[in-house]
Every structure is written in structure tokens, then in C-alpha cells.
Amino acid sequence: MQKSLYIDANKCTDCLQCEMACSYENYGIFNIAKSRIKVFNFEHEGRKVPYTCTQCAEAWCMHACPVDAIRLDAVTGAKVVFEDTCVGCKVCTIACPFGTINYVADSGKVQKCDLCGGDPACATACPTGAITYIDADWTGLDKMRQWAAKTDTTATA
């Protein structure tokens, strides 16, 4: 079964454990500046929204890369940056409509979410269940269940 990250922003508290976990997983330090998942706090609306790469099936970044440094991980479905190949031209950062692939000045390469090889650290670290790693074909299952409960009138009839 292929899985994907599923984000329920209503559950996010902006604690940034996901960003810490991401930076530790990829760089071995606690540094939210290096995180590939970011939480946005829309303070005046009271909304906190985690956001990262959705792993597009026809990924703009992958198609735009002139040196084939972004490749599909057939097991996880992730589009993975191969740093040895990446030349840091940043064309992928222009191609990506969502801004989720970014240049890292320290390394001269780009970085994006690679689903941690199938065990995403952000989902493990999230204390509220705002970020989960679930069946890619059924990310809507929870919402369906909630609506099913609301629309089922026979139980109370």
C-alpha cells in the first residue's frame, strides 16, 4: 500500500516538533531553519497550518530538472533529490507551484521532503495527530467518516 502525508490543520498547535524532527532526521541537529515542513501561523485568524511537498504524481520539479537529479522512489512515491547529481540551478524551485522545494545556500543544492524513506519523522513527532502518514488512496477516509456520522439520520429516527 502506498502512503502519503495527511495534514489536518485544525489539530495543529504550532509547537514545531515536526520541524525539529525533520531537521534532526536530515541534518542531525535541531534547527527549524533547515526543516522541509513548515508551520504557518496566521495569527489574526487563529489558524496554524503545516505545509510540505505533496509528492505530485507528475511532479513539476522532477520534469523541470535538467540533470535528472530528482527521481521517483518507487516504493514510497516520493520525489527525491539526489544531491550528488544536483547542480543547484534552482529551476525546480521556479517550476514547483507550491514553493515546497527550496535552495540551501550552505550545500549549494536544493532540498525537499523525501518522506524519510517511508517513515516520516514529522508524523512520528506530531503530538496532536495533525500530521499522519496514511493510505494514499484514502486520505479522505476520516472526513468521510465524520460526514457519514452527520448524515446518518436513521440512528436517531
Partner 1 sequence: MGWNRKILRVDLTKGTCKAEPLNMEWAQEYLGQRGLATKYIVEEVDPKVDPLSPGNKLIMATGPLTGTMASTGGRYSVITKSPLTGAIACSNSGGYFGAEMKFAGWDMIIFEGKSPKPVYLSIENDKAELKDASHLWGKTVWDTEEIIKKSHQDPQTRVSSIGRAGENGVLYACIVNDLHRAAGRSGVGTVMGSKNLKAVAIRGTQGVSGIKDFKGFLAATTAAKKVLADNAVTGQALPTYGTQVLMNVINEIGAMPTRNSRDVQFEGARKISGEAMHEPRASDGKPNLIGNQACFGCTIACGRTSKMDKSHFSVANSPKYWGATGGLEYESAWALGSHNGIDDLEALTFAQIICNEDGMDPISLGSTVSAAMELYETGVLTKEQIGVEAPFGSAEALVELCKMTAEGRGFGKELGLGSRRLCEKYGHPEFSMTVKSQEYPAYDPRGIQGMGLTYATSNRGACHLRSYTVASEVLGIPVKTDPLVTEGKAGLVKAFQDATAAFDSSGTCIFTTFAWSLADLQPQIDTACEGNWTMEKLADLGERVWNMERLFNNAAGFTAKDDDLPARLKTEPAKTGPAKGLVSGIDKMKPEYYQLRGWDQNGVPSKETLDRLGL
Chain positions contacting partner 1, by CB under 8 A: 10, 13-17, 20-21, 23-24, 27-34, 43-48, 125, 127-128
Which residues pair with residue 38 across a beta bridge?
51
d(CA 157, CA 151) in angstroms, rounded, equals 12
Q: Find the shortest distance in angstroms from Cβ 30 to partner 1.
A: 4
Under a CB-based contact definition with an 8 Å cutoff, are residues 80 and 53 in contact? no
Determine the residue type at 49.
V
Closer to partner 1 by CB, 59 or 123: give it.
Answer: 123
Under a CB-based contact definition with an 8 Å cutoff, are residues 135 and 3 in contact? yes
Q: Find the shortest distance in angstroms from Cβ 21 to partner 1.
A: 7
Under a CB-based contact definition with an 8 Å cutoff, are residues 113 and 18 in contact? no
Closer to partner 1 by CB, 1 or 105: give it.
Answer: 105
SS3 148: helix
The length of the chain, given as a count of residues = 157
Closer to partner 1 by CB, 31 or 139: give it.
Answer: 31
Closer to partner 1 by CB, 50 or 70: give it.
Answer: 50
Q: Find the shortest distance in angstroms from Cβ 8 to partner 1.
A: 13
Q: Find the shortest distance in angstroms from Cβ 152 to partner 1.
A: 24
